[in-house]
Structure 1
């Protein structure tokens, strides 16, 4: 009997994914624990290992979407059984992708050549068709899929680059003869599609409300200056994001009702304080998680933030880096924003946005003075968190930032 290869559930909120690559061909021998295929979901690509051994028959093509639990292949006792099998959506048994059928005398365990200059570049069928129509050699592209596979989004990126380059180098014609600018279109796919789906799902499945608070950051500024002065000793440069993240973690530890989620008909109060940090990428946004942030020093948080952000921008985050967040932080002040109404990273019930720190006139002891002020924007799920509770949480974060001595005690 065949062992069915099904799409696993990789995260709490995962419902579907795109199959972006097969590491094996039909009829290949697969050993338990070997990488079998790759899927793209929630903005990252994950390699899936075989949980049994056998000879592979693929029932699904790359660049196709599948729900969790969908059968995409099977592992059989013999190569002959595999090649003769059919499954959901399966066609007549083909040879290796984009190659002539394998000769009968060929070894069943012949390895697939690795991608690169010495081997064949992996290209998904859809990407190959689009590239051919656009006059692009897919072998010239740098693939973003598993094992360097060239996917549709890589071809779309190259098409957009060429169009932009053509517009930039074209000589301007006379105004009276200049044709209307052509519209450009590209598929809503990959990371952009995942973001679009999550944002709509978040807004339609929760009762979101945003409240604001102004924070005097004078003492937090002094704390950061102290951290910078001790940079050689700490081994890392501390940012304001690290300080605010630590303040949030301390506040969450003292107010567990914020560190909670509604999942189905249950309210789950999370035992760990795992803070997700929004990282802006060229083509979207991703939220890696700093785990047990309440038990880490500011320097430890800074080192982990730097590592996660670097790996996010180079596409090297793992599924574990993104799973398990119980609260999120978004620093829109880093690109000049004062305040926004951020959207929840569901199923989390709260997200704190922080604005830019700017000098403002304020009244202290009856006198007008200039202080470095920052706006907090707390979006919360009103189904679970009442306005008064959200207000106390904002107040607690503000209290810690304005009197950050408890954070100084755990500087290293």
Structure 2
């Protein structure tokens, strides 16, 4: 008997993931609890354990994208069954981005290469082609125009698979793809090529999905941080007592969470045809790693004190840099904060982290001349960059958010009036 191996749901907002690597080979004996494969979702890698004993037959290869619940392999009662030539058929595709066989075609079958095709491409004349992620990566690595593969696909519905690209690359030079013209000044060695994979590919995909799936607008503002500077200095002096050094990011997160608790429309998401107003202000904090940006979440920040936020922020940042984040650390965010000032930036245009509807970028704090009571004085100034989904949040509502945030940052004691 064959028992399906499916993609588990690892978080409340998880919908898909990338199968990164198999830890076992076809025909291998697997014990319940052993690591079977690894998936990447929300910019982190998770190891998936076998739920029962059996012999493995993989039906999806590495570097393929799958929805939650997709079947990627089977556990059989015997090695012979696992290595049979005709593996079990995969369930029907779960979304419109997958290959759908025509009624007259044989139903889609899974193969070790990964017949779950989530990638699509269009040729120059607009013709749509279906191509597996592995095939597309190989074509890109070798500078092969996907348009040249039209009509060569051997997969369901003419889908282009790995073997089709390899066959095209092995064709005689007379029919091989023409070499790309190198840019002026390029050396004979050509550019260094490497696949867009891992965390960088996840970031690229999510950024495109964010921009294509929402109406993003960015507004800017300036805050006099004199009050926040005094507050932080007082807290730093008591660092030994609190057990943590409070940062300006902590102060901003606390102020943001306070405003979110007052303005539920900012702390909301559009999901399908519904507006979901989240009960808690779960604030994500962008952390820059060598591989890319990751956003762990301070859960229920609106119900935490400033010192509690600082402790949680430190734990999350340390875990992110040491590879110790869990799926729950990355799930459930309702708003994000990105500190441009940590690398000398003043203001930029942050991109939404779906399904969140707003994100705040904060710049470095710089002493600048300003006018106060008719006199020019020097004050610590910080720029704010707020990107929001205009489908849900109007400019006026975003303006009210920034005004309240500015008030709490300039006069932190005002928050005491609304804290429960």
The answer to whether the Cα contact below 8 Å between 2:58 and 2:112 also exists between their aligned partners in 1 is: no
Give the aligned partner of residue 304 of structure 1.
Answer: 312
**Shift in Å, 1:248:** 0.4
User: What is the 5 A alignment of 1:186-225?
Assistant: 186-225=194-233
Which of 386, 393, 396 is the aligned partner of 2:401? 393
The answer to whether the Cα contact below 8 Å between 2:60 and 2:112 also exists between their aligned partners in 1 is: no
Give the aligned partner of residue 28 of structure 1.
Answer: 29
Give the aligned partner of residue 46 of structure 2.
Answer: 46
Per-residue deviation, residues 51-84 of structure 1 (Å, max 9, x unmatched): 4444432223334444443321112334443344
The answer to whether the Cα contact below 8 Å between 1:17 and 1:68 also exists between their aligned partners in 2 is: no
Per-residue deviation, residues 238-260 of structure 1 (Å, max 9, x unmatched): 11011111110111011111100
The answer for unaligned runs of 5 or more in structure 2 is 89-108, 114-133, 139-185
**Shift in Å, 1:181:** 7.7
Per-residue deviation, residues 112-131 of structure 1 (Å, max 9, x unmatched): xxxxxxxxxxxxx99xx9xx
Query: Equivalent residue of 2:333, what SS?
Result: coil
Distance 1:91 1:72, change over 3 A: closer
Q: Distance in 2 between matches of 1:306 and 1:38?
A: 27
Indicate the RMSD between aligned Cα atoms, in angstroms. 2.8
**Shift in Å, 1:262:** 0.2
**Shift in Å, 1:182:** 4.8
Give the aligned partner of residue 264 of structure 2.
Answer: 256
Distance 1:55 1:182, change over 3 A: closer
The answer to whether the Cα contact below 8 Å between 1:274 and 1:293 also exists between their aligned partners in 2 is: yes
| TM-score, normalising length: structure 2 | 0.72
**Shift in Å, 1:45:** 0.7
The answer to whether the Cα contact below 8 Å between 2:38 and 2:46 also exists between their aligned partners in 1 is: yes
Give the aligned partner of residue 4 of structure 1.
Answer: 4
Which of 374, 378, 381 is the aligned partner of 1:366? 374
Give the aligned partner of residue 318 of structure 1.
Answer: 326
**Shift in Å, 1:393:** 0.5
Give the aligned partner of residue 276 of structure 1.
Answer: 284
Give the aligned partner of residue 58 of structure 2.
Answer: 58
Q: Distance in 2 between matches of 1:243 and 1:24?
A: 50
Give the aligned partner of residue 403 of structure 1.
Answer: 411
Give the aligned partner of residue 266 of structure 1.
Answer: 274
Query: Equivalent residue of 1:238, what SS?
Result: coil
Give the aligned partner of residue 98 of structure 2.
Answer: none
**Shift in Å, 1:9:** 3.6
The answer to whether the Cα contact below 8 Å between 2:301 and 2:309 also exists between their aligned partners in 1 is: yes
User: What is the 5 A alignment of 1:43-192?
Assistant: 43-84=43-84, 86-87=87-88, 88-90=109-111, 182-192=190-200
**Shift in Å, 1:321:** 1.2
**Shift in Å, 1:91:** 6.1
Give the ranges of 4+ consecutive aligned residues of structure 1 lying more than 4 Å apart after TM superposition: 178-182, 406-411
Which of 327, 345, 351 is the aligned partner of 2:335? 327
**Shift in Å, 1:270:** 0.4
Q: Distance in 2 between matches of 1:398 and 1:325?
A: 22
Per-residue deviation, residues 235-285 of structure 1 (Å, max 9, x unmatched): 001110111111101110111111000011110000111000001111211
Give the aligned partner of residue 238 of structure 1.
Answer: 246
| Matched pairs, number | 328
**Shift in Å, 1:179:** 6.4
Q: Distance in 2 between matches of 1:292 and 1:270?
A: 11
**Shift in Å, 1:330:** 0.3
**Shift in Å, 1:8:** 2.6
Query: Equivalent residue of 1:305, what SS?
Result: helix
- Greater displacement, 14-23 / 211-220: 14-23
**Shift in Å, 1:209:** 0.8
**Shift in Å, 1:289:** 0.6
The answer for unaligned runs of 5 or more in structure 1 is 93-124, 130-177
For CA contacts below 8 A with separation 6 or more, give which structure has more relative contact order. Answer: 1
The answer to whether the Cα contact below 8 Å between 2:289 and 2:321 also exists between their aligned partners in 1 is: yes
Give the aligned partner of residue 37 of structure 1.
Answer: 37
